[in-house]
Amino acid sequence: MNTSLHTILGIESSCDETAAAIVREDGEILANIVWSQMAQHAPYGGVVPEIASRAHVAMMDKVIAQACEQANMSLQQVGAIAATTGPGLIGGLMVGLMTGKALASVLQKPFVAVNHLEGHALTVRLTNKVEFPYLLLLVSGGHCQVLLTRGVGDYIRFGGTMDDAVGEAFDKTAKLMGLPYPGGPAIEKRAREGDPRRFKLPLSMVGAEHGDFSFSGLKTAVLRLVDSHRPLDEKTTADICASFQYTVGEILADRMMHAFKRCEAMGLKNLPLVVAGGVAANQFLRGRLAQVAKDFGAELVAPPIALCTDNAAMIAWAGMERWRLNGWGQCDVLDTEPRARWPLAA
Ligand code: KG4
Ligand code: ZN
């Protein structure tokens, strides 16, 4: 192994994945362990915070040990420790943050407090070596926002959701149709067999002068649609899934056109469009966003699917970028507190 390159351990516990990864400064992922709590939350149709916290406590040391084993490294050989400090569920954040701080303190290594959203935002620099600046659509279960990414810690927010996040809309829509949690993959699968034009759903905010999104009207419309077609047969379920996914695609496409125009007005042309977060795993939405990017002479860049959903490699990498900017010295003090809310841009 090349020992002259810096390595960092990343720890993630902000939602329902307990994860640890070790990443090298050249972008080599030496270990990436994700323990999903999905099965424990599935009966409730969403993440139950207390169950999540307890599961993080039960699994955290095991995933870190597995990461060391996969990388064939001891904790002493890792150069620094990064942990997600927010935003997210406070109980889970406390588990990962305390573990990270304890390790950094005992091993006398630099500690980096990482914003989970920055983890998603910078993943394409790890996987695709994308240079700043780029336009970022961050779409996950808890977040939906468009940011002009100019550098590490340097973001301009163009807009965000006024109500539900996109992933949340997928999850809630799936739940009311009786589909399993998480809703995104379940809807995408059924949508492949469905007719996207059968049901006309509201295109909330399409054409708006501002850069924001709204998904609550769409959710209510699907609720009414489902209620008027009960009991749902396979075909109708597939058609609702396809119509819903198509509508989300149109809304995202319109909002990104708005963002591209705003970039052009700032003199920034052909910026790469990066899509990140769990919803970026959706192949149909990727296709629609690729079209928009093409219309503006730009390219769509998305991380591999396994690195779109929550993982610790993205936390390790965001930690690496910040640690590097700090001249490989100490980054954050050990009395750093967890933050349930932590916007990327003011
Ligand atoms: O980034 P992530 O793993 O966790 C958060 O930080 O929220 O995103 C999870 C979200 C869930 O809402 C899930 O339904 C959605 O991403 N998701 C998808 C797909 N895969 C995951 N949404 C649409 N299509 C998918 N294929
Ligand atoms: Zn996430």
Tell me the ligand closest to 119's alpha carbon.
2
Ligand 1 centre to CA of 181 (Å) is: 10
The pocket around ligand 1, CB under 6 angstroms, is made up of: 15, 140-142, 167, 170-171, 182-185, 188, 277-279, 281-282, 309-310
Six-digit token string for 145: 């926002």
Of the candidates 307, 169, 180, the residue with the CA atom closest to the CA atom of residue 245: 169
To test the ligand 1 pocket, which listed residue (138, 309, 341) has its Cβ within 8 A of the most ligand atoms?
309
Calculate how far, in angstroms, residue 203's C-alpha sits from the geometric centre of ligand 1: 21
- Atom nearest to 14 CA in ligand 1: 6
What CATH code is assigned to 132-302? 3.30.420.40
CATH homologous superfamily for the domain 7-122+307-325 = ATPase, nucleotide binding domain (3.30.420.40)
Do the domains at 7-122+307-325 and 132-302 have one common CATH topology? yes
Looking from the CA of residue 308, the nearest atom of ligand 1 is 1
Where are the domains positioned within the chain? 7-122+307-325, 132-302
Q: How far is the CA of 120 from the centre of ligand 2 (A)?
A: 7
Q: How far is the CA of 12 from the centre of ligand 1 (A)?
A: 16
Cα distance between residue 120 and residue 174, in whole Å: 24
pLDDT the model gives residue 206: 94
Mean pLDDT of the chain: 96
- pLDDT category at 203 given cuts 50, 70, 90 is very high
pLDDT in tens, 63-81: 999 999 999 999 999 999 9
**Cα end-to-end span (Å), the chain:** 41
- Kindly give the number of the ligand 1 atom that is closest to the alpha carbon of 143: 7
For 261-270, what is the mean pLDDT?
97
pLDDT of residue 2: 56
Give the ligand 1 atom nearest the CA of 174: 14
What spacing in Å lies between the alpha carbon of 171 and ligand 1's midpoint? 8
Compute, in angstroms, the gap from residue 183 CA to the centroid of ligand 1. 8
| DSSP bridge partners of 273 | 135, 300
Ligand 1 atom showing the smallest separation from residue 171 Cα? 14
DSSP 208-273: -SS--B--HHHHHHHHHHHHHTPSPPHHHHHHHHHHHHHHHHHHHHHHHHHHHHHHHHTT--SPPE
4-57: pLDDT as tens digits? 899 999 999 999 999 999 999 999 999 999 999 989 998 887 889 999 999 999
User: Atom 14 in ligand 1: which residue has the minimum CA distance?
Assistant: 184
- Residues 150-201 have pLDDT tens digits of 999 999 999 999 999 999 999 999 999 999 988 999 999 999 999 999 999 9
Per-residue confidence (pLDDT) for residue 44, from 0 to 100: 86
Task: Provide the token pair at 146.
Answer: 């468009």
- What is the model's pLDDT at position 3? 60
Number of helices (H), then strands (E), in the chain? 10, 10
Kindly state the average pLDDT of the residues 306-321.
96
* Ligand 1 atom at shortest distance from the alpha carbon of 120: 1
Q: Model confidence over 108-118: pLDDT tens digits?
A: 999 999 999 99
- Contact between residue 311 and residue 21 where contact means Cβ atoms under 8 Å apart: yes
Q: Mean pLDDT throughout 303-310?
A: 93
Q: Provide the whole-model pTM.
A: 0.94
Mutate to test the pocket of ligand 1, among 18, 138, 279 (most ligand atoms within 8 A of CB): 279
Q: Shortest CA distance to 282 belongs to which of 316, 252, 254?
A: 252
Ligand number nearest CA of 314 is 2
Q: Which ligand is nearest to the CA of 139?
A: 1
- Contact yes or no for 231/188 (Cβ under 8 A): no
State the CB neighbour count (10 A cutoff) for residue 46: 15
